[in-house]
Chains A and B, each alone.
Chain A
Amino acid sequence: MPASWAGEVAIAGAYESPRRRAPGVHPFAIQAECARGALADAGLDLADVDGLATAASFPAEGAREMAVAEIAEYLGLRPRWVDGTDIGGAAPLSHAGHAVAAIQAGLAEVVLVTYAACGYSWPHGAADYLTYAHGPGQWELPYGPSTVATYALAARRHMHDYGTTAEDLAAIAVQCRANAAANPDARYSAPITVDDVLASPVIADPLHRLDCCVVTDSGGAFVLTSARNARSMRTRPVYVLGFGEALGQVSMNQMWPFTATAAAASGARAFATAGMRPAEIDCAQLYDSFTITVLLALEDLGFCAKGEGGKFAAAGELAPGGRLPVNTDGGGLSSNHPGRRGALAVVEAVRQLRGDSPGVRLDSPRTALVHGMGGSLSTSATLILGV
């Protein structure tokens, strides 16, 4: 395995916008706020940055296909290395992994990964389709596949194959809400119960409203540089120990099997580059667009056997005292999900390892896994971080 992944690059600064509602604000302004915040956290200036990665092609992100160029121009940056990989909510994790390789190759010294969207307030509403009614999409779009519905298809089959229940899924939402209780910026922080989840309106059965993430206006950013550089900066370096990415299907009629995702491949690659096993992970930030997203990730990443994710969650293993504390700031389900949660999941993992999470603070975790899942269980990227 490539030993060069053993922490030669570190995250030296991280920032999450406290905004959750930003009517009248263009998402680029939040991008700039996040860039400023992450650089200040590292004790750096924009002039120190020579690499930029972002994705902002969703309507509520304000850019189009040249998003990284638009954001560079807006910030006032002319980077020598760029990455505009655009694989949904997993993109910021891919950016981080690619940045590690770029820094090791000498293509950049300080890489800024930024993200922002006005998912709630964006005035130009847009359909949530992943594709168009031409090419492959013509065999799916005419039938009305909303994003929630595509995840519901996976939840239904998991229930059929493994006996997973709506209560099992609800336990994930309940835990995220409990973690959000201490987070002053969380979109929702009042405790909920399994019954509350089941009593919330059904959106696409078996998924209820409280099985779905919040929709916010916000963003986040982080800064990567060599470990040698990071050790001279103002905050404790968080080392990148492992990374993997993988692609699954876009059309749901191409998902096979229906109860597993590309996380199995991205997770295996991340553990291989880190030379670690799931049992060595102290805590995780698992993409929680919907409760089923977390459940499938638990299984596909190897934290429990296939089919056991529901029992794992219902048994309280995701709680701060459980085998795998997850989404310690409240996650996308309760704290913040402007569009691509991956950026914020990385930020929370960094805060947790540095001991400054705004949510639940675990007892000195040494390792964290961050997992991103984009599209309709389509794309996957996994990072392993450590201090």
Chain B
Amino acid sequence: MKPKIELLPPAIENPRTRAMLLAALYIAQEQYGWLSPEAIQRVADRLKVSPGQVKSTASFYTMFKLEPRGKYHIQVCEGLSCYLVGGAEPIIDYVAKRLKINPGETTLDGKFSLEVVQCLAACDLAPALKVNDELYGHMTLEIIDALFSELAQSSSVERGA
């Protein structure tokens, strides 16, 4: 069973309750697909902190999404080590062209979104990218073609979950 906001222990009057915020945001993001205003409000109610505090924390971290994203969220590294071995822009441009979207956008069918990210601490596997939580290394355009064909065919199975 997937975690739900309602299952978090009720907030008590304790300054340490706020320490649950990042975990609660992950749960809300999983439950709602993204951190919608409703999700933010639910987290705030549950932890007894203001929605402003929740949003200020959520917006600080790149992995919390304040807008909807694709079912497959593609994150391509633009770090120096990836660039040095032919990664970064050539891969970002190729994925963007294939998906017909720019970085930061989601395909119309809601299946794919593309994000350019900083170093993934996978420089030994460069060029690297991630699909949702799963890391893929030694990327070439051929491997990307194969990966995307596989993802386009898959139906309800969530990778890396």
Asked if chains A and B come from one complex, the reply is: no
Residues of B within 8 A of A (CB): none
Residues of A within 8 A of B (CB): none
